[in-house]
Amino acid sequence: MKIFSEELVDQAVRELHVADLQNATIGDVLLVAQYLENKTGIPFIRMDQGSPGLPVNQAGVEAEKAALDRGVGSQYPAAAGVPELKQEASRFIKAFMNVDVSPRSCVPTVGSVAGSFGAFIACTQRTPGKDKVLFIDPGFPIQKSQLRVIGAQWEEFDVYKYRGQALRAKLESFLEKGDIAAIVYSNPNNPAWICLEEEELAIIGELATRYDVVVLEDLAYFCMDFRTDMGHPFQPPYPPTVARYTDNYILMLSSSKIFSYAGQRMALSCISDKLFERQFPALAERYHDSGVFGPTLIASILYMITSGCTASTQYAYAEMLRLSTEGQINFVEDTREYAHRAERMKKIFTDNGFHIVYDYDATQKVGDGFFFTIGYGNMTGGELLRELLYYGVSSISLATTGSDQQGVRACTSRMREELYSVMEERMKAFNEDHKTIK
């Protein structure tokens, strides 16, 4: 039995001016869920927005308050970042990735959204004729919206059928055209939680060097592949990264998920030292500066977007990185709760006729974490999104993430203990009502 009537959902869609519910953005789905919840008082199972669902890291809070007490709020922060953060970022990357990036090349950004926006601008303008971005999908829809803002074009493909060595030929089919400036992916992946493995990253790195393409590696969920015991500073195993296989990379490292510091909008773009120092005549001509990649990105692009990053938050991030590097806090264990939630939520869905869409990496079963993907019978992702709303469950269609598979993305972050029994009851009702379509 449905929790919300079709008429009420249609009313929400009309009043909120949602053009197409089946292909709705995260923001649209969020508004519809809030509307229905407020209208009826019936709680939703919120699987739409990937906002952290754990307490903020208190070490960051205290460091930020101390910075404000010292008076840092009265001065503009340097565009390149405060020295303490740059130093701790370099140490953190060495400790947890075993990769060397100098402090100079670690640049704070207002979240990884600003980091990718600036990187897209610099990468698509650095070499005439190389002006497209290649997405290894599924991925973060906002990044394509950023390209719309700057008027850049992109190519994309769903990696579902191209794991392992099959990735090489697929990538080369795009890169050999000569117009790809950058490749972007998240690892672990938003929305599928699949992880690119070392063999695949080696392929990406090799081809990035051969075709002079910059790889933007989004590490929003850093070390959150809980199948492997990572998170011990200066000790293997280290998370897989393309930085071992090319000098053409930018690592985007956010504080939002690993430290639950999302509200302060703080991240880092960690650029390989060789790319940071490369000079591009096209950038020099456009910006009337040196055309050196790093300084141009900082002073002529990122500064134009945000005028630097909040000073006190930079000190907060520096302290959280420092304590992690020194082994005083374990951000991996702090975030493992997401894996426990995913395991329980997946079981409720699969016990009631659903299946996991992205169920395997190249060589192993996909892990549990912040996101997972589900399908039901032969429903399209848009159809499933709408049907789940009737049962008080919000999600987003995989079609909006560049996926060719049919299903929806589920986020674990807002799940609470008292909602598991509610979810189980609703999904039993969903399955009972839809058995005939399977």
Mean pLDDT of 306-326: 97
* The overall pTM is greater than 0.85: yes
Domains belonging to the chain, first-starting first, are: 6-54+335-437 (3.90.1150.100), 58-325 (3.40.640.10)
Q: At what angle do helices 111-125 and 141-150 cross, to 10 degrees?
A: 50
Sequential DSSP letters for 95-118: HHH-----GGGEEEESHHHHHHHH
* 405 and 372 Cβ atoms separated by less than 8 Å: no
Q: Does the pLDDT value for residue 198 go beyond 70?
A: yes
Q: Point out which residues pair with 371 in neighbouring strands.
A: 411
Interval 381-415: pLDDT, tens: 999 999 999 999 999 999 999 999 999 999 999 99
Q: In the structure, what pLDDT confidence band is assigned to residue 326 with cuts at 50, 70 and 90? A: very high
**Structure token digits, residue 436:** 């005939």
Q: In the structure, what pLDDT confidence band is assigned to residue 435 with cuts at 50, 70 and 90? A: confident
Measured in whole angstroms, the distance separating CA 370 from the mean position of its chain's CA atoms is: 10
**Strand order in 180-186's β-sheet?**
106-109, 267-271, 249-254, 214-218, 180-186, 132-137, 153-158
Q: Does the pLDDT value for residue 437 go beyond 80?
A: no
Which are the contacts of 257, defined by CB distance < 8 A and separation ≥ 6?
A: 52, 220, 221, 222, 224, 335, 370
Q: Point out which residues pair with 130 in neighbouring strands.
A: none
Mean pLDDT of 148-176: 97
- pLDDT of the residue at 438: 60
d(CA 425, CA 423): 5
Interval 214-249: pLDDT, tens: 999 999 999 999 999 998 999 999 999 999 999 999
Instruction: Give CA angle at 64 (58, 69), nearest 5°.
Output: 125
- Quote the mean pLDDT of the chain: 96
